[in-house]
Amino acid sequence: MDDGLKDVRWTGRVGEKAFDLLCSRRKITCSKVAEDDYGWDFIVQFPERPSAVLMHDEREAGPCALVQIKTTAGAIRNWSITLQNALHLIRSPLPAFIVVYVLEQEGSETVYGIHLWKREIGRVLLAAREADRDGITRLNHSSITFPFGEENRRPDVLAWIRSEIEAVGSDYTEQKTQLRNTIGYGPLRDTMHLSGPHVTEDRLMDLQLGLLDGIDVENITITSKRFGIEASKPRLTYQGVRLSMTPSGCDGKLRLRTQDGESLIVPAKIYHARSPLSKRYKVRVTAGCFDLLCDPKGRIAIDAVLPRDRITSLADIDLFAFLRTAAADDLVSLALIEASGTIDLGFIKTNVSERDRASWIQTRHNLAALQAIAAYEGVAPVEMSIASMSSVIGPLVMLDALSCARALRLDYVPTETTGRKFDQHLGYGSAVLDGRVIGLVASRPVVSDDYNGKRREVYLGPARFLSAVHGGDAHDLRERYFDTLERLSVEQHILATGDMMHFLEGTGGSLIVDEPRDRDARDSDGTSLITDGGRA
């Protein structure tokens, strides 16, 4: 080796000139910086790739890169640069490389290179955070060392640089920015320090669960935390503020099941809160009017309140009604269904009188009718309150009778016993809820039409929807009913709404929902319905 190369100035020039010459031979633009203030010696511009398919206006420019050249006359194991220059290189939107020329005794050189990418960016950011922790402010006096082994040997350094850039993709700058902004941070980027008489462990957990609107705080400092190291100075500082939080729960399902096997599964939100001071935690599950809270000791508190005048979804009212339909001595089991599995939450017991229970059972039937009509029309069910449903209970019971899949039995004493048997029933009805008309025209097949002594019993099968309105005109629905009645009456004997009313009111008859087990039993467990409307 030439003794002149033992001078560091000459050694450095050899590596830079060798790289510059290599770029010229490859017809790659290589511009040397006049003042090396930001850690790079050359900016390299590669030519665009030739293409037989893309037009000139569609082609991408060749990639650019920042290159720092180091040269040594001895064996290389590690190479150090100032922490300040390393930060400059990873902050630049351009790809950054460190290339080392090792000058051999016989006059040849071996080239090594590293791409400042994921691992190297992380090492630089960690070193910078450690310097902040240690109170180091002059980063040009601190260094960071990169190892160079045989795996970093680059026989064709320019081809390697280009392949590294193109392997990342055309969004190189975006990816580099994302790495620089996220590496070293956990799920939470900052640490918040709170102080004040209202700041307690339980209140902070309740705030996370959405149980409190806010907490009055005397002092708040927000400090970033990276690689587990808290910054030496807070990012933000506030005094005398109210801290509010909007919790973001995960999706799940709540399953309620009575002892007789009836189940209801509703969408639920699951909220988790952990104490910042200990390992204590709380879990909250909400599903409409249902609110469940599990405290750190495993105790569960449940609240299910739905004011009569609160406008809410039909599903929410149905959940509330389901809880009110359990028998007095019945236990309702609760289970939480998550992606990871099903969690048993135990049992609840309600205290509802038998009279109220029957009323809520009918409410669930009415809700099912409204949901079925909305589904038939392909619209979202209208929101309403329990009070608004109660104000039109008669029309809603009629809609239930028209739409439900439960069998019906018409039981009456006919004025004559030679009447023609009915082929099917046709009826219509509507209810006005908060100014919206919801109605239905439906038919039911007659599955049996026989006499039981002097009484005539007509059994009707499940309902079939023929027409419906959901926010339309009640008069239009009535016209559809009569048009359908006229069409069907040509070939069939129709039991129409008016006929049924005549039998029920004029002959002491009753309409029973669900066929009784004993046909001779006059006092059935079914529900007697009083309908309105008539046949012209």
Whether residues 232 and 257 fall in one domain: no
Whether residues 259 and 168 fall in one domain: no
Residues 390-430: tens digit of each pLDDT: 999 999 998 998 999 888 888 888 776 556 889 999 999 99
**How many whole angstroms separate alpha carbon 173 and alpha carbon 175?**
5
Whether residues 18 and 133 fall in one domain: yes
Q: Does 523 map to a domain?
A: no
pLDDT at residue 417, rounded to an integer: 57
Q: Does 337 map to a domain?
A: yes
Beta carbons of 444 and 461 less than 8 angstroms apart: yes
Whether residues 221 and 270 fall in one domain: no
SS3 string, 236-289, reads EEEEEEEECCCCCCEEEEEEEECCCCCEEEEEEEEEEEECCCCCCEEEEEEECC
Whether residues 29 and 144 fall in one domain: yes
**How many whole angstroms separate alpha carbon 96 and alpha carbon 117?**
8
For residue 100, the domain's CATH number is: 3.40.1350
Q: Does 525 map to a domain?
A: no
Q: How far is CA 484 from CA 51, 377, 478, in A?
A: 70, 18, 10
Whether residues 98 and 164 fall in one domain: yes
Whether residues 23 and 131 fall in one domain: yes
Q: What percent of the chain has pLDDT over 70?
A: 91
Q: Does 436 map to a domain?
A: yes
Beta carbons of 430 and 477 less than 8 angstroms apart: yes
CA dihedral 412, 417, 422, 426 (to 10 degrees): -40
Tokens of 481: 């009913």
Which of 243, 272, 288 corresponds to the end of one domain? 243
Average model confidence (pLDDT) across the chain: 86
Tokens of 1: 């080796």
Q: Which of 151-160, 340-349, 478-487 has the lowest mean pLDDT?
A: 340-349
Type of residue found at 135 = G
- pLDDT tier at 327, thresholds 50, 70, 90: confident
Whether residues 398 and 345 fall in one domain: no
Whether residues 226 and 257 fall in one domain: no
Whether residues 87 and 232 fall in one domain: no
Q: Does 466 map to a domain?
A: yes
**How many whole angstroms separate alpha carbon 463 and alpha carbon 428?**
11
Residues 462-490: tens digit of each pLDDT: 999 999 999 878 888 899 999 999 999 99
pLDDT at residue 412, rounded to an integer: 82
Q: Does 442 map to a domain?
A: yes
Strand 96-103 and strand 64-72: pairing?
parallel
Mean pLDDT of 190-210: 90
pLDDT at residue 211, rounded to an integer: 92
Q: Does 535 map to a domain?
A: no
What b-and-e string marks burial along 216-227, b requiring 16 or more CB atoms within 10 Å of the CB? Answer: ebeebbebbbbb
Give the domain extent around 397: 383-513
Whether residues 42 and 158 fall in one domain: yes
Backbone angles phi, psi at 123, to 5 degrees: -65, -40
For the chain, the domain total comes to: 4
- pLDDT tier at 146, thresholds 50, 70, 90: very high
More confident residue, 415 or 82: 82
More confident residue, 105 or 300: 300
Q: Does 376 map to a domain?
A: no
Whether residues 39 and 138 fall in one domain: yes
Tokens of 184: 């070293």
Beta carbons of 460 and 401 less than 8 angstroms apart: no
Mean pLDDT of 41-66: 85
What b-and-e string marks burial along 305-316, b requiring 16 or more CB atoms within 10 Å of the CB? Answer: ebeeeeebebbb
Which of 146, 163, 182 corresponds to the end of one domain? 182
pLDDT at residue 517, rounded to an integer: 40
